[in-house]
Amino acid sequence: MKVASVVGARPNFIKLAPVSRALRERFQEVIVHTGQHYDYEMDRIFFEEIGIPEPDHHLGVGSGSHGRQTGEMLARIEDVLIKEEPDAVVVFGDTNTTLAGALAAAKLHITLVHVEAGLRSYDRRMPEEINRVLVDHCSDLLSCPTETAVDNLRREGIVDGVYLTGDVMVDAMNLCMDISKRSTILERLELRPKEYILATLHRAENTDDSERLREIIGAFEDIGSNLVFPCHPRTERRLRDLGLWDSLKERIKVIKPVGYLDMLQLEMNALRILTDSGGVQKEAYIFRVPCVTLRERTEWVETVNDGWNVLAGASRESIVRHARGFVPPRSQTHVFGDGEAGRRIADLIESFMSSGRGCSGGRFAAS
C-alpha cells in the first residue's frame, strides 16, 4: 500500500517526522514537497536535523499570493498523484500546501488523511482558518490532537472518521530532545537560561498590517536587549520596507531563523515566549514556559484555558506588561497526549484501508 505525504512549510516538516517513521514501518511512503518554504533556514535544515527522508518530488512552487501559490501547488500535486497512484494522501496542519494537497486528493477520489484536524480560532480573517475548515470538510480520516478539536468537528456535523490521536508535535519533540541537547545556540548567542525572552512573528495578520506591526515592534523595542528574535524572512522584508529594521536591531538581539533543534533549546530555556505561531504556543506549553500570544484569538485554546498562555493582541502596552510580568496561576493538565500520535495515525490508516472504506474521495468528491 502506498501513502503520499504532502508537505511544504516548516510546521509541516516537524509534524511529518514522527508520522513518516510510523508510516514506513508498514507502507510505501512518497514525500511530496511543494517548496512553499525554500530558504535553507526554513526548509533544508529541518530535513537534515530531524532525519526526514529526502522528498521524492520537489515541486519548487515558492512564494506568491495565496490564490496563485495554492493554485500552482494544486496543479503540480495533481500531476504527481496521477503518476504515483497512492492509496492515501496525508496532509498536515493548515498551510496553503495542506489545502492544495487536500483538494488534489479529494478531486482524484484518493483517501485523504488530515493530521491536526479540528482546530478552530473562529477568525475567518486568518488564511489558516479557511484552510483548516476546508481540509477538514473534505477529509476521510481526521486525526485530532485534543478533545477540543473533536468537539469543534462535532459542532460542524463531522463525526465519521474522527479520532483523538494526541498531538504529533509531542512525538516530534520527544524524538528530538536528546539530539537538541547538542545545540550550542545559548553559548553562541551568549544567553543564560531563564534570563531572556524569546519572540517569533510571522503571521500575515501581524506582518501585513502596518499599524499592528509597528505596535508589536514598538513593544519589542521597549522590552529591550534581553529579547531574542529569530526573524522570519518575510517579516524582515516588511520591517525593511517600513524603515523599522535598523532601529530594531540596535535595541534587541535579532537573529536569522534557526533550525528545529536550536529552537527547542531557545524555547525550553526562555523566561517567557512571545509569539503569533500556533506551534510555538504548543511547544511553550509543553516546556512549561509562560507564553504571550500576539493575537486576539488562538486555535490552541487549551493553553489559554489552562493558564499558561495569554492573548495580548497587538497592543504595545499589553505585550510589554505581560512580557515582564505574566506568571501562570497553576500547574498544567497536559492536554496534548502521550507522544504516540504517529503510531496511532498509521494504525488508523491501515485499519481504514484494509476495511475497504478507502478511496471514497472525501466529502467534496465529484460524482
- 342 within domain boundaries: yes
| CA–CA dist 55, 21 (Å, integer) | 14
User: Phi and psi of 61, rounded to 5°?
Assistant: -70, -45
Whether 191 and 269 have beta carbons less than 8 Å apart is answered as yes
Q: What is the pTM of this model?
A: 0.90
Please tell me whether residues 14 and 161 are part of one structural domain.
yes
Residue 162 CA: distances (Å) to CA of 131, 152, 197, 238, 352: 18, 11, 38, 40, 12
Structural domain contains residue 96: yes
Cell of 291: 507564553
Rounded Cα–Cα distance for residues 61 and 78 (Å): 13
Distance, in Å, from the CA atom of 297 to the CA atom of 316, rounded to the nearest integer, reads: 17
Residue 333: band (very low, low, confident or very high) from pLDDT cuts 50, 70, 90: confident
Instruction: Give 326's DSSP letter.
Output: -
C-alpha cell at 328: 501562570
Examine residue 364 and state whether it is found in any structural domain, yes or no: no
CA 330 to chain CA mean position, Å? 26
pLDDT on residue 38: 59
As a whole number, mean pLDDT of residues 337-358 equals 93
Among 186, 184, 208, smallest CA distance to 195 is for 186
Structure confidence by residue, pLDDT tens digits, 124-140: 988 999 999 999 999 99
Average pLDDT over residues 83-104: 97
Widest CA span in the chain: 61
CA 238 to chain centroid, in Å, comes to: 21
CB 112 within 8 A of CB 75: no
282 belongs to a structural domain = yes
How much is the pLDDT for 301?
96
Asked if residue 207 and residue 127 are part of one domain, the reply reads no
- One domain for residues 104 and 86: yes
Confidence band of 353 (pLDDT split at 50, 70, 90)? very high
Q: What is the pLDDT of residue 344?
A: 98
Task: Look at residue 181 in the predicted model and tell me its pLDDT.
Answer: 86
Same domain, residue pair 314 and 346: no
Mean pLDDT value of segment 316-342: 94
> What residues make up the domain containing 312?
177-325
Residues 165-177: pLDDT tens digits?
Answer: 999 999 999 999 8
Please determine, for residue 218, whether its predicted confidence score (pLDDT) is greater than 50.
yes
- Please state the rounded mean pLDDT for residues 252-279: 95
Q: What is the pLDDT of residue 320?
A: 98
Q: Give residue 325's Cα distance to chain centre.
A: 27
- Shared-domain flag, residues 82 and 205: no
Q: Name the pLDDT band for 360 (thresholds 50, 70, 90).
A: very low
Q: Please give the DSSP secondary-structure letter assigned to residue 111.
A: E
**CATH no. for residue 281?**
3.40.50.2000
Q: Does 308 score more than 80 pLDDT?
A: yes
Q: Which residue among the candidates 37, 137, 202, 322 is catalytic per the annotation? A: 202
* H or E segment to which residue 49 belongs: helix 44-50
Amino acid at 1: M
Q: Which residue has the cell 529552537?
A: 263
* pLDDT, greater one: 156 or 177: 156
Q: How many residues does the chain have?
A: 367
Q: Over pLDDT 70: what percentage of the chain?
A: 95
pLDDT given for residue 179 in this prediction: 86
Is 202 noted as a catalytic residue in this protein?
Answer: yes
Count structural domains, the chain: 2
Residue 309 lies in a domain: yes
pLDDT at site 63: 77
Q: What confidence category does residue 41 fall into, taking pLDDT thresholds of 50, 70 and 90?
A: low
Residues 28 and 118 in one domain: yes
Residue 332 resides in a domain: no
pLDDT greater than 50 at residue 361: no
Average pLDDT score over residue span 1-16? 94
Query: Is 367 a member of any domain?
Result: no
Least confident window among 43-52, 114-123, 164-173, 262-271:
43-52
State residue 79's pLDDT score: 98
Residues 38, 93: one domain? yes
**212 assigned to some structural domain:** yes
- Which range among 49-63, 178-192, 263-277, 347-361 shows the weakest confidence by mean pLDDT? 347-361
CB atoms near residue 330 (< 10 Å): 8
For residue 43, the model assigns a pLDDT of 63
- Do both 251 and 310 map to the same domain? yes
- Which pLDDT value is given to residue 90? 98
Nearest to 206, CA basis, from 293, 129, 121: 293
How far apart CA 62 and CA 73 sit, in angstroms, is: 9
| 125 and 272 inside one domain | no
Tell me: pLDDT of 37 over 90: no
Does residue 136 sit in helix, strand or coil?
A: helix
On whether both 120 and 158 belong to a single domain, the answer is yes
Instruction: Give the span between the Cα atoms of 240 and 242, in whole angstroms.
Output: 5
Residues 27, 48: one domain?
Answer: yes
> Same structural domain for residues 344 and 283?
no
Amino acid 367: pLDDT = 29
